[in-house]
Structure 1
Amino acid sequence: MGFDGMASRAPYMSMMLRLTIARPEQLTPQDDKIEGHFDAQSADLPQLRNTTERKLMAKIDWHIMPCLCVMYLLAFLDRVNISNAAVLGLQEDLNMVDGTNYNTALTIFFVPYVIFEIPSNILLKKLRPHVWLTGCMFLFGLVTICQGLVSNWGGLMTTRWFLGMFETGMFPGCFYLLGMWYKRSEAQKRFSFFFSSTTLAGAFGGLLASGLGKMDGIRGYRGWRWVFIIEGLITCVVSLAWFFIIPDFPEEVKWLTNEERQFIRAKLARDSGSAGHDAKIGWRDALEVFKDYKIFIGGLMYFGQVVTAYGYAYFAPTIIKSYGYDAIKTQLYSIPPWAAAWGFSMLVAILSDKTRHRFAFTIVPMLIAMAGFGILLNVHGQARRNVQYGALFMVTCGCYSAMPVIVCWFAMNLAGHRRRSVGTAWQVGFGNIGGIISTYAFLKKDAPEYRPGYIISVSFLSFSAACCIGYFSAVWYDNWRRDQAIADGMAIPSDEEQELLGDMALNYRYSY
């Protein structure tokens, strides 16, 4: 069964571009401001004679979702397994006990990760997804293995740099690819299911590390080295298989019939405009995207979330260990909060789909996370560690359910290959600057209460919530302004102009 049902798509108009003449009565003003779309611009969809739309979407789901989820699970696991290695002796063996060497090793990952986001998405389109994504996957798996072989802090820094460089295309690339297969009313469940790979990676990583930690001393390697070596090896093996499995764009895959391909293409064109896979992306096109101020708000929404999410992902084992558990129990106790976050994020996605709404499902989860951090700020001591541990559930459930809604909401409000490719890469690239801040949020000198880290987390969650309010206001105003322009008789763009304008077209409506 596929993931049917969901959100919407949307947009805003460039007043500088010349539009073709059309009578205003050609466009029916939208009745449902929650569903974004191109209003009354497309003919009926082609008929499916040999299948149904539900069966077709299930077919697409089975070809796309498992591949991308496993890929991103392994990417996130290889990114944050250093937190599991840290409680198994990495810092002591590499002489990083004092100072901020460990935090700097976390930080260096984000430098290339941020720099290469947009170039990576441009290369994704030029090289085809199955080539680019699996190539990156094999390389960051290889680098992860090398992390298990380093002998000093300099070696760790070098491997973390290359890990960030090779992982840079995974998250925006996968989100971009999903956006090229699903219309917005189908997207949120899929996006949340994909994003939940991060929570599953956290749970799986803790479980795997608890077992690999018991390999301490085998062949002369410490347990933390086996964490990197085994998990990196798994990634490399999967990448070789995924090269033959990962789908490209709807126009290119061979497992769709011509009838199915035409149906998907027409459906996406009606939802987001007709700018398709053949649209070329150059640097001038990329810069043109940034003339829309909402692009910057999208990056800021994600930025605030990233500080909190990576702060937890990198330091959860360290925080849990401060409650008095040994290394193996720490790994096991790290699993339940991640598992709860997976379930809650899927619940939020279903409710967001059911109500066809996005804004409230970013704010409410963030309030839950803030409440969790409030408890952690005020409850201390091992005698009350059960309360502190319970607060971690609130933090993970809140943070990791709001993030996929924010990314989906923004990405699916961008129409066409050009704007979605550049916009999603920008949001994730700029947002991950927050990862640099997160790596210095929880310092050893602040243990065991970690008050500065919790204060930083609450502050950036509040910032993200404020940006979500700003984005909601911006898209609501743009929708209202377009309705007024159409009512005043302003011309509607032709199909060719829609390809250039994307979600900036007059007859496009943003979702909120």
Structure 2
Amino acid sequence: MIPKGTEPAETSVPAMDVLEKDDFFKERPSIEQLETYQPPFTAQEQKNILRKVDWRLVPLLSFLYLVSFIDRGNLGNAKVAGLGKDLHLSGTQYNIAVTLFFIPYSLLEVPSNIILKLTRPSIWISLMMFSWGLVITLTGIVQNFSGLLAIRIFLGVAEAGFFPAATYLLTVWYTRYEVQSRMVFFYAAVSLAGAFSGLLAYAIQKMDGVAGLEGWRWIFILEGIFTVFLSFFIWSLLPDSPSTAPFLTTEEREFIVLRLEQDTGSGRGKVTNNDKVNKRQVIAGLTDWKVWAAVFMYWATSISSYGFTYTVPTVILELGYTAANAQLLTVPIYVVAMIFTVANAMASDYYRQRTPFILLGVSVGIAGFTALLAIPHPQLPGLTYGMLFFATSGIYMSLVPTLCFVGKIIL
């Protein structure tokens, strides 16, 4: 708090120590207040506050992203379980179905986050979860290629806003050199999604014939129903922003908000969810060259990530393994990738460097993919399988530092 006797300028916001409790959050502090603000907590108490935020926010967002990635990526598992054969899909048709998801998904991410700013994140994320869970459930009754294309478009629309909404929520709670060590656990869910997706598909496809439905249909139906069920609880569990968090005291909320304001350096960057978005801000974001440079950086890593996710079960299947074993053999690949992803991100935050750790992941990924191209298939199944570990680990190691690097250069 500002020491008593410190008087703000006439045109500034009233001094924080004369604001009545939650009135602090109704007005933005001036730069002078930010510079003189002293948290009323010891260093250990500050750590305890952050741990309280960690336990409330990070596991929940990580779990939701795990569910999201399983739902969008289970098409690859369903293909191995018989979807391609039953719908008479050629390799090209399957690739079209995979690709079509990303058209509305990419086009609607920005509009979705604008809506996020106009509403409450908890409500908007709950609505998105209900929508994509319903679409996933309906995928289980698709009868032909045309129906699959239509359902993939709807899935892209429904899921478009979740990833940007979730990463945005992380950035409104943590400073720039804290966010990666939290985001890595959120993003490790991508690796775990591959592992869980394989395990779930292995178990669920054994329901083949139940109620007259093929096993691959039950993969979509059960996973979709679970997401719909989960959506009814998220709106009450997910905190919208530090300034409205019910699990923090007024002083703790004030501490979180002001440390984020101070972290912008100039006081100009706004990282809370209090401001409503306006036309000028949207135009500024779309015309900033750094934003477009960031787009290409993220494309380079995410294209490899999604391409791998949708094809790795088929790659393993073509090495001579059974469909059930192909599902199971994806599990250790993603577990190893998660370990290296977490270690790389933690080291990046420790050394406060992004570029070397991005390049490390990219190098490992390039080595893995190059080896996969050079190895004769399927003559050396063991070596091919081993190179999948390098390709996956490299992809995911570079993703998190790239996202955090983007946040730093744009701020």
| CA distance in 2: counterparts of 1:386 and 1:250, whole angstroms | 50
Cross-structure match for 2:365: 369
In the alignment, is residue 302 of structure 1 matched against residue 311 of structure 2? no
- The reply to whether residue 285 of structure 1 matches residue 281 of structure 2 is yes
Q: 1 CA distance for matches of 2:42 and 2:346?
A: 30
Please name the residue that 1:85 is paired with: 78
| One of 312, 318, 321 as aligned partner of 1:316 | 312
The percentage of counterpart residues that share the same residue type is 38
Instruction: Give the structure 2 partner of residue 3 of structure 1.
Output: none
Residue 105 of structure 2 corresponds to: 113
Letter in 2 for 1:259: E
Supply the AA of the counterpart residue of 1:218. V
Q: Per-residue displacement from partner, 1:368-393 (whole Å, max 9, x unpaired)?
A: 11111111111123341111111000
- 1:51 Cα deviation from its structure 2 partner: 7.2
| Structure 2 counterpart of 1:146 | 138
2:376 is equivalent to residue 410 of structure 1: no
Describe how 1:412-431 pairs up with structure 2 within 5 A. Answer: 412-414=408-410
**Does residue 65 of the first structure (1) align with residue 58 of the second (2)?**
yes
Q: Deviations over 1:430-483 (max 9, x none)?
A: xxxxxxxxxxxxxxxxxxxxxxxxxxxxxxxxxxxxxxxxxxxxxxxxxxxxxx
Task: Give, in angstroms, the shift of residue 43 of structure 1.
Answer: 2.5
> Following superposition, which runs of at least 4 residues in structure 1 exceed 4 angstroms of deviation?
none
* Map of 1:259 onto structure 2: 251
- Structure with bigger helix share is 2
1:220 aligns with 2:212: yes
In structure 2, distance between residues paired with 1:151 and 1:349 = 43
Of the three residues 123, 126, 131, the one matched with 1:131 is: 123
CA distance in 1, matches of 2:62, 2:155: 19
Say which SS state the counterpart of residue 182 (structure 1) adopts: coil
Corresponding letter in the other structure for 1:88: A
Query: 1:78 Cα deviation (Å)?
Result: 0.5
Q: What is the Cα-based RMSD across aligned positions, in Å?
A: 1.8
Please list the CA deviations of residues 416-441 of structure 1 after superposition, one character each: whole Å capped at 9, or x if unmatched: xxxxxxxxxxxxxxxxxxxxxxxxxx
Tell me by how many angstroms 1:50 deviates.
11
Alpha-carbon distance between aligned partners in 1 of 2:236 and 2:196, rounded to the nearest angstrom:
25
Cα deviation for residue 292 of structure 1 reads 2.6
Opposite residue 191 of structure 1, the aligned amino acid is M
User: Where does residue 201 of structure 2 map in the other structure?
Assistant: 209
For residue 151 of structure 1, give the secondary structure of its aligned residue in structure 2: coil
Alignment of 1:317-332 (within 5 A): 317-332=313-328
In structure 2, the residue matched to 1:445 is: none
How far the C-alpha of 1:99 sits from its partner, in A, is 5.4
TM-score (normalised: structure 2): 0.88
SS in 2 for 1:52: helix
TM-score by length of 1: 0.71
Cα gap change, 1:150/1:384 in structure 2, threshold over 3 Å: closer, same or farther? same
Distance 2:393 2:43 in 1: 42
Q: Which amino acid aligns with 1:207?
A: L
- Structure number with greater CO (CA < 8 Å, separation at least 6) is 1
Aligned partner of 1:52 in structure 2 is: 45
Query: Quick one: distance in 1 between partners of 2:220 and 2:339?
Result: 27
Aligned residues: 377
CA contact (8 A) 2:334 2:392 kept: yes
Question: What per-residue deviation string (whole Å, max 9, x for no partner) do you get for residues 310-364 of structure 1?
Answer: 1100100011111001100000011111111111000001111211111101001
- Cα distance in 1 between the residues matched to 2:206 and 2:106: 35
Q: 1:450 corresponds to which residue?
A: none
Which residue among 184, 187, 197 is the counterpart of 1:192? 184
